[in-house]
Structure 1
């Protein structure tokens, strides 16, 4: 029993030190002792182990003062790599990052169909290619996390993906059988929320992220953990009914929120109104800039329906920070002002309403971060986003 207790404490100390080294980028042993409260002997033993495992490296910092140059500790970026995957309606996006969360490569491929076997083969082929690219590192590819735009249970089984009409697919098992490395499957909105906390809002204890792209998804971080519900199905807020007997939804209901407030619904409606089949974000941005009446009126209706759903979410969860992830709203200067004007209830309470700076990269960033967290075994993870990646 004593051995187990000692090993557990040692593992806790290891995870604490790793998380602080990652958070600060570079830090000395002395500063680690101040921050963590661990004694110098404990830190010395742990650092020695981590250096021998090539997870961290030591460098001498240049300084002009007299005396010995301090030895700084930092994560070894070349020890291994994480792969984040965003499996969306029409595309798959792959992002490879270092174990400090810095992205080094992103690829996007078009999906030829929604057929499960075809997409499975595409995933197998590309993941194997990334494994080969990372073979030079001591730990190679440390983990793969796939964000799915659908319902994923606590066992990481895909229960339902409306856009592909997949039901009860064990993508995790199918991939692991072929590839031989650890695969994690997660809901894309959960990964977006995780990315917001890990990269942008480290101190937030109650962060809620709403993604508005091909559908609407909700991710909620409470004390650093995702709120998933009993089976893991929590967050399918896009299928909250906001218009009784309204527009039909692929889920089988009528009047779901995502039929009125997702970006795909906005694009579809505007395409019908403009008789244009291939509208892009830049087209809409130009129409809004030129104050085209139909486009402006539709945006007004879009924000109205979006605000109805946000009001319901705020009343349900009382978030500290509410992040809206939408490329459409990022190009509309008055978005937050107009949304806030609709949230007039004296009951609805939240501290901050923000537009995501991570945009459509949030899912793959969250996926990379989760793979890193799983590999290192840390309970908390604070990473620094690369501003070039966000542009």
Structure 2
């Protein structure tokens, strides 16, 4: 039983009601009372406050039945906006979304300069631009979350970004010297894992998300929470050693998993074997479709190396869902079946292995979702997408 002063209880009730309104999309006061167990008087007071804050509004659900149309409650998605940023090696991806997680604008900027101070100024300029765009909404740009492809401390400082060779950078503090906006720094794999939970696997409390795109990172969710470890560095699966005295890695070790099973390593090695220095995704898809013998043989070996690491991870964490985010595997026929055929251990237990549907959007989607959750202060966020994006409800605003 939760105990505390009146203000604390009111805050808990408010968070619970907002969570259920978001989860259901459209819901009546009566149904809120049934679902939450809160009495009608409490519902009435809380709803009145949320309406006054313009975080929700009343709508009429379009239906064909005879009788009065029920008055429903729904989130005011345009009350404020959030900005998710995926700070990758060669480019930075920005996604501005409303409070329902719907993308309003997405931009990708190629990085020509890797100097830390130059990039800080670039980020400040871009964030200011998005902030100005949101100035006419009730709450404006409420949160910015930046995904870093490196190790991020629990205090949100950056320990190390291998691709840039950045050590001990406090990006959050450097940005906030010139920006009066809530900013959070998070590991990109953690954000991608959070996106899988929020948008796809709503009921999976033990989920592992493996990203192969710019190295290998893992986002780990245990009992519904992102697992960060002691300092915040948990999930650096790409630097588990699978080949003693193997290929040198930028982390300082040899034989790291990402030197054998990441997408950059695949392009590096296959381009040498094919004598195609500019090998790209389109080229690779053509080679796969044409069943090029060199490409198929290498991909078979690549999947074997991938399965070695996955076997280790499964034995360590016993996940419910293991989600692999890889553009290459999405265009490789029967990739999941081939991976499973290499997982032969009788003690490796998991419920399901799937390829991510979110792809390169997963980090920014997770960043936006985390920003929304923190602004609305809800304990759990569930957003739904279909093939065309976020599922939208058919509503009519009551004037």
Question: TM-score, structure 2 length as denominator?
Answer: 0.95
Matched, 1:43 2:43: yes
**8 A contact 1:91–1:109 mirrored in 2:** yes
Mapping of residues 167-182 of structure 1, within 5 Å: 167-182=167-182
Q: How does 1:16-31 map to 2 (within 5 A)?
A: 16-31=16-31
Greater helix fraction, Structure 1 or Structure 2:
1
Shift of 1:221: 1.0
Instruction: Write the distance in 2 (CA, Å) between the matches of 1:62 and 1:366.
Output: 31
Q: Could you say if the C-alpha distance between residues 182 and 53 of structure 1 is closer, same or farther in structure 2, counting changes exceeding 3 Å?
A: same
Query: Quick check: 1:266 aligned with 2:266?
Result: yes
What is the 5 A alignment of 1:148-187? 148-187=148-187
Matches within 5 A, 1:28-177: 28-177=28-177
Alignment partners' CA distance in 1, 2:108 and 2:44: 44
Displacement, 1:68? 3.1
Supply the distance in 2 between the matched residues of 1:389 and 1:263 (Cα, whole angstroms).
26
Flag the 1:293–1:62 CA change in 2: closer, same or farther, 3 A. closer
Q: Does the Cα contact within 8 Å between 2:147 and 2:364 map onto a contact in 1?
A: yes
Structure-1 residue corresponding to 2:198: 198
Residue 388 of structure 1: CA displacement?
3.1
Per-residue deviation at 1:223? 2.4
Note the alpha carbon deviations across 1:167-196, whole angstroms, 9 max, x for none: 000000111111111100000000000000
SS at 1:201 equivalent: coil
Give the distance between the partners of 1:271 and 1:74, measured in 2 at CA. Answer: 52
Equivalent pair of 2:102/2:389 in contact (CA under 8 Å)? no
Structure 1 runs not aligned, ≥5 long: none
- Give the TM-score normalised by structure 1: 0.97
Separation in 1, partners of 2:303, 2:30: 52
* Native 8 Å contact 2:91 2:109 kept in 1: yes
Q: CA deviation at 1:31?
A: 1.2
Distance 2:24 2:389 in 1: 20
Q: Which residue of 2 aligns with 1:300?
A: 300
Please give the alpha-carbon distance, in whole angstroms, between the structure 2 residues aligned to 1:248 and 1:175: 34
1:179 match: secondary structure: coil
Q: Displacement, 1:67? A: 4.1
How much has 1:119 moved relative to structure 2? 1.0
- CA displacement at 1:64 relative to structure 2: 4.3
Residue 396 of structure 2 corresponds to none
Per-residue deviation, 1:9: 0.9
Q: Is the 8 A contact 2:323 2:355 kept in 1?
A: yes
Contact 1:102/1:386 (<8 A) preserved: no
Counterpart Cα distance in 1 of 2:68 and 2:205:
40
How far has the Cα of 1:336 moved from its partner?
A: 0.3
Q: Partners in 2 of 1:106 and 1:29 — Cα distance?
A: 35
* Aligned twin of 1:257: 257
Deviation at 1:274, TM superposition (A): 1.8
Q: Which runs of 5+ in 2 are unaligned?
A: 391-399
Structure 2 distance, partners of 1:27, 1:131, is: 31
How many residues align? The count is 389
CA distance in structure 2 between the partners assigned to 1:117 and 1:375 by the alignment:
29
Counterpart of 1:209 in structure 2 is 209
- The offset of 1:385, in angstroms, is 2.4
* In 2, Cα distance between equivalents of 1:55 and 1:183: 21
Matched, 1:245 2:268: no
CA distance, structure 1, for counterparts of residue 39 and residue 87 of structure 2: 45
Q: Distance in 1 between matches of 2:307 and 2:248?
A: 20
Specify the SS of the correspondent of 1:146: strand
2:395 matched residue in structure 1: none
Structure 1 position 230 matched with structure 2 position 230: yes
